[in-house]
Chain A
Amino acid sequence: DAGVTQSPTHLIKTRGQHVTLRCSPISGHKSVSWYQQVLGQGPQFIFQYYEKEERGRGNFPDRFSARQFPNYSSELNVNALLLGDSALYLCASSGRGSPFLSSYNEQFFGPGTRLTVL
């Protein structure tokens, strides 16, 4: 089985631009979560989607949005980029079953997309 894949691996944007990051979950996984990891800190939760519906949202501004497609892949969009948006963006997939099974939160992370905003 292929792991979680993310594209692109690296991206350089300028302030005010828009960016779209993509994630393909492990086959059979229906949940995708997005995290932002600023250098030197732990990952911070942004969104979770399960069965194409938003199930959780972290403390991020409305400039951040996401969606999940029928094949369970996902996109994270960030508008009006700021210098502080420079980070590693991680996608994780999980959920071969109910969100309340103990195995549900056994999340599998992709390698991330490194976004640099200049």
Chain B
Amino acid sequence: DAKTTQPPSMDCAEGRAANLPCNHSTISGNEYVYWYRQIHSQGPQYIIHGLKNNETNEMASLIITEDRKSSTLILPHATLRDTAVYYCIVLYGQNFVFGPGTRLSVLP
């Protein structure tokens, strides 16, 4: 499995965009990038995933660089309820290996 590197913590002002980076320099051509988040004491929640192209859904946008060695999860208008630990995972047909993730704090 490709390894990922994320900053341990980030702050974001409520209503502003939260941009969470992830480095995955050893990603292989068929490995997808997945993002999950975990709000305190709950099970992780799926956010978005992508392979090469940028993706957008009702929760977030995923920007993957052309060389696929890094990606950014964008929460366009962060709310206090977006405070959580965000996990970036890369894999293909395998099982998730969760790293420590990024603890995002949305501040009022």
Tell me whether B49 is interfacial, beta carbon within 8 Å: yes
User: Do A107 and B96 form a contact, CB below 8 Å, given A43-B44, A112-B43?
Assistant: yes
A105 near B49 (CB under 8 angstroms)? yes
Indicate if A21 sits at the interface (CB-CB under 8 A).
no
Indicate whether B45 reaches chain A with its CB closer than 8 angstroms.
yes
For the complex, would chain B's binding face be called helix, strand, loop or mixed by DSSP majority? loop
Q: A42-B101, A56-B95 are in contact. Are A106 and B45 (CB under 8 A)?
A: no
A to B contact number (C-beta, < 8 Å): 57
Which A residues are in CB contact (< 8 Å) with B51? 102
B contact residues around A100 at 8 Å (CB): 92-93
- Given A45-B96, A58-B95, the answer on whether A102 and B49 have CB atoms closer than 8 Å is yes
A92 to B87, CA, bound (A): 16
Instruction: Report B-chain residues with C-beta under 8 Å of the C-beta of A45.
Output: 95-98
A21 CB → nearest B CB, Å? 13
A111 to B49, Cβ gap below 8 A?
no
CA distance A107 to B44 in the complex (A): 9
The reply to whether B87 and A106 contact each other, CB–CB distance below 8 Å, is no
Contacts of B43 in A (CB 8 A): 4, 90, 92, 109-112
Bits for B73-96, please: 1 = Cβ < 8 Å to A, else 0.
Answer: 000000000000101000111111
Q: Is A24 an interface residue (CB 8 A)?
A: no
Q: Which residues of B contact A102 (CB under 8 A)?
A: 32, 49, 51
Interface code B12-27, partner A: CB below 8 Å = 1, 0 otherwise?
0000000000000000
Please, which residue of chain B has its CB at the minimum distance from the CB of A106?
A: B46
13 pairs of residues in contact across A and B, judged by CB atoms under 8 Å: A33-B96, A42-B87, A42-B98, A42-B101, A45-B96, A45-B98, A58-B95, A90-B43, A102-B49, A102-B51, A105-B91, A107-B96, A112-B43
